[in-house]
Amino acid sequence: MTEDLKIRNYSPRTIQVYINRVAKFAHYFGQSPDRLTREHIREYQRYLVEDKKCSWSQLNQTVCALRFFYRVCLNQPTIVEYIPYPRQPKSLPVVLSRQEVSRLLAAADNLSHYPVLTLLYATGVRISEALALRVGDVDSQRMVIHVREGKAGKDRYLPLPDSLLEALRAYWLACRPVGFLFPGRDPHRALTGRTVRRICRQAANQAGITKTVTPHTLRHSFATHHLEAGTDIKTIQMWLGHRSLSTTSVYLHIAMTSQRNRSQSDDLLAGVLPAPAHSTTAD
């Protein structure tokens, strides 16, 4: 299954998730998954929904993994028809106000924490995309950030706001990362998603924000604030890396009408960043 996923250029994260979901399916019945039938699949889906009370994302990941396994690895496309996708809930995403973003960034007073959260909000990148960035992907000459192999393996360029560049330069002068822009304790490995999620929680608690704040909350806030500032939804779709405009349009339901000057909408950090306490003077 791993080979089949790699041949089709699935991302390392997706491969890990798919393998994990099929392994849990097999473990539940204590049998090799190629011996399990559509009746087992139905029972497992019932278990996830009724007993485990799994989230929609977990259910969807399991369905995608099982459908791939039976269709591609076992060449049993007829079974795939009996693996329905779960109905996606219609809940709206959590979005921070610009004032809450300002408090959140001010609370992230660790030199390595602050630039991560700042980049997530200022560009709207997915956490996996942010952590995969390398120092050379920040192009200060063209004022763009090169996101390599985002979701579905697609590259894209994102605008690099002046305020973000200033924050990243101060961070680079202090920490001097060489490979990954945000390395972990091992300089040859990037920070983990778990670490960044913990950073978000800690900063939100420190800032007194009662909403559930995750790295994806900053992505939601990025899209909503740009809509409120007058940025075209097609442009936001391109920045977010959405394949379908319908995915981006969910933010239309939560964005407020704004007459703010469009020329100010490119740099969300303007007026949001706390007073510079992270600048470092190089010798």
**Catalytic site residues?**
126, 151, 216, 219, 242, 251
What is the Cα–Cα distance from 108 to 160, expressed in whole angstroms? 21
What is the Cα–Cα distance from 218 to 120, expressed in whole angstroms? 6
Q: Which long-range contacts (CB under 8 A, 24 or more apart) does 232-236 make?
A: 236/124
DSSP per residue, the chain: -HHHHHHTT--HHHHHHHHHHHHHHHHHHTS-GGG--HHHHHHHHHIIIIIS---HHHHHHHHHHHHHIIIIIS--HHHHTT-PPPPPP-PPPP---HHHHHHHHHH--STTHHHHHHHHHHH---HHHHHH-BGGGEETTTTEEEE-S-GGG--EEEE--HHHHHHHHHHHHHH---SBSSB-SSTTSBPPHHHHHHHHHHHHHHHT--S---HHHHHHHHHHHHHHTT--HHHHHHHHT-S-HHHHGGGGGTPPP----GGGTT-TTTTTSPS--------
